[in-house]
Every structure is written in C-alpha cells, then in structure tokens.
Amino acid sequence: MKEWGMTPENSLGTPLVISMGDACGIGPEIIAKLWQREAPRDAVVVGDLAVLRRAVAAVGGGLAVAGLSGPEEWPRVPPRCLPVWQPPGLPADLMAAPPGRVDARAGAAAARCIEAAVELIQAGRARGLVTAPIHKEALHAAGSPFPGHTEMLQALAGKEGVTPPVRMMLANEELRTVLVTIHCSLREAIEQVTRQNVLETLRITGAALRRMGLAAPRIAVAGLNPHAGEGGLFGDEEIRHIAPAIADARALGLDATGPYAPDTVFMRARRGEFDVVVAMTHDHGLIPVKYLGVEQGVNVTLGLPFVRTSPDHGTAFDIAGRGLADPSSLAVALAMARRLASARSPHGQREKV
C-alpha cells in the first residue's frame, strides 16, 4: 500500500473543512496540535471560536485563531494561524460544558458543525470533509436521531427522501477493512447479514477502491461465524447469504473471494494477498485495524457524493483538556482527504492510496 504521508497541498479553488467534533473531547485539541505541527494551508475548521481558543491554550499556545466570515477567506489567513468559521446556531453557553464529560450542549454543537460543513460542500464552497471525533451519548442527549457520523452524513447527503447506501472503511498503511454492518447491537447485526446487504457492500467497496486508483481491487470476504461456518456446522449464514452474494459480485466482474475464516483473513490481507477485507460486523472488522495502531488509521465513508474522512479514535474524555492528545491520526485523515478530493476533481490526478 502506498505511503500515507503528507502530500503537497493543491491549488483547487475551495478548501477542505474540518468539523470541530465534541467540544468536551480531544477534537479541538488535536486540531490545534495539527496546526502547531503542520500549519495546513488548504483547510478551514468549522467550529466554535472560543472552544478552539481554549484548545490552543491547552496545547501550549503559539497560534492565533482567526474567525472567518466564510471559508472563502482561507487564502488570506496568515501562516501559523488557525482559520475557524463559526456557523450560526451553536449553543451560546457551549464554553460552560466542561472537558471530559458528556454534555448535551457539546452534542448539539458537534451536530451543527457537521451539518454546516456538509452545507458548505453541497454549495460548492468546500471540497471535502474531515470530522473530528464526536461522542454518541452526547449526540443522543442533544436529541439527534443518529447513532454516529456515518448515519448522519448519509441522511444529510440524501435527496428527496432517498439516502445513498454508504459503508464504513477503516484503513491504515497495512490493512483496509469495510463493514457490512456498523452501529447496532450484535443481534441486530447478524440479522442484517443478508445476501442483498453483503452484495451492496461489495459493490460499494469495488467502486470506491477503483476511484482510489486500484483498477481491479482484490476483495476478501470474511465469514460471520467461527471458521466461516465450517460448512454449516457453526452457523449457515455463509451458505445462505454470504457465498451467494460473493457469486453475485463475481458475476458483476468484481474480484471477490471467500468467505474466509474471520480469524485469519486479516493476516492474509496484511501480507498482501488482498487489497481489502469486507467484514460482517463492526468489531470483526475494526479490531484488527485498530490493533495495528490508531495513530495511523483513517475512517473513510464510502458511497457518499463527497469526500469524508476521520481519525481512527474517539473523544478520549479521560485526557480531554490536558493537552495530551496525539494529532497523528487527524493528520493522516487530512492527507487522505486531499488525495480523495483530488481524485474526484476533474483537475486532480488520480493517486493510489
């Protein structure tokens, strides 16, 4: 897999946007640290000015925070300055929400920043989105009906009541994995492992990786049950749903194989036998990637009509407000967003990732 280091910032006419995340978590701090470390010149933060200034102070200062009237002002922001566009509708008392705790005000602000960022992209004022971590409990406390980023972005991308099918991909320099099911109970996830859902995941995965520069991605499909069901001895979902979906995908021209035993297929992919693993459930797919190190992981939402990436970690309430957070995963997520946005642009060059 190609090295995921920083790439040259291109000169497309619109910036990338980074949503602030949960104000009580480490999102604002990793944003401030990223600007301390790299000072990106092609991105604007969508968030609360006071919260971002507090975050800059928490990580040792050294940055000015510039309030923008719109993302169009980003080229005029001086170096070593954090550009922030504060959207209307944020809670007026957000600074009263203490770091490290679940707070409905922080959940409401996080949701509003995501909505505003998507509105910018849909209006052609931004070219891609990087989302800092949100807290699902805070989101729920704020009255949001969505269990996480993926479902919210899917709804925001919908038109006339029709939402695009989306999937979560988590990836690092050694391994990519795409999930059939995400934020639901394990019991519900098993019920969602159907021939249709597996096939849809394979189609979305194949199309996304081709856009990323892989002409014929090799897709390994992990089973649901131990040993991929062992011929039906340990469960028959592989026989009834997963294997037929793989056959359907191959009939469409996709290089999909399996189902393979979930406890070994990720090692085979890491060694280079496959380009991506499709896993049936959230933890089946994410534990192997996160075990390799969250600091290099990127969450990419596949199937959206715009680019969205995210760091491979959560809000880390236990260290929020202490200036200890590591911005490495955010840096990699921003670099990935650059590549994907460039690949989608008619002026950009496709680049393998």
Q: Give per-residue pLDDT as tens, 74-107.
A: 888 998 899 999 999 999 999 999 999 999 999 9
CATH 3.40.718.10 applies to domain 175-291: yes
Per-residue tokens: 129 = 């989105």
C-alpha torsion 292→175→44→160, nearest 10 = -130
pTM of the model: 0.84
pLDDT of residue 24: 97
Contacts of 28 (CB under 8 A, 6+ apart): 20, 21, 47, 51, 52, 54, 55, 132
Cα–Cα distance between 197 and 351 in angstroms, integer?
29
What is the structure's pLDDT at 9? 45
The distance of Cα 179 from the centroid of its chain, to the nearest Å, equals 13
Q: Are 89 and 50 in contact (CB under 8 A)?
A: no
217, 222, 196, 353: which is closest to 282 by C-alpha? 222
Q: What strands, in cross-sheet order, belong to the sheet with 64-68?
A: 64-68, 81-85, 43-46, 16-19, 129-131, 308-311, 298-302, 167-171, 176-179, 276-279, 218-222, 255-260
Residue corresponding to tokens 């459930």: 281
Q: What pLDDT, on the 0 to 100 scale, is given for residue 124? A: 94
Considering the chain, tell me which residue range(s) the CATH 3.40.718.10 domain(s) occupy. Answer: 1-166+303-353, 175-291
Q: Which two tokens stand for residue 185?
A: 């109970």
| 113: Cα separation from own chain's centroid | 15
Longest dimension (CA), the chain: 65
Using 50 as the pLDDT threshold, list the residues of the chain that sit under it.
Answer: 1-11, 346-353
Choose among 256, 157, 150: nearest CA to 199. Answer: 256
Residue 343: predicted pLDDT: 73
Which pLDDT does position 344 carry in this prediction?
A: 63
**C-alpha distance across the termini of the chain, in Å:** 7
The CATH code for residues 1-166+303-353 is 3.40.718.10
Q: Which of 231, 145, 232 is nearest to 183 (CA)?
A: 145
DSSP state of 59: T
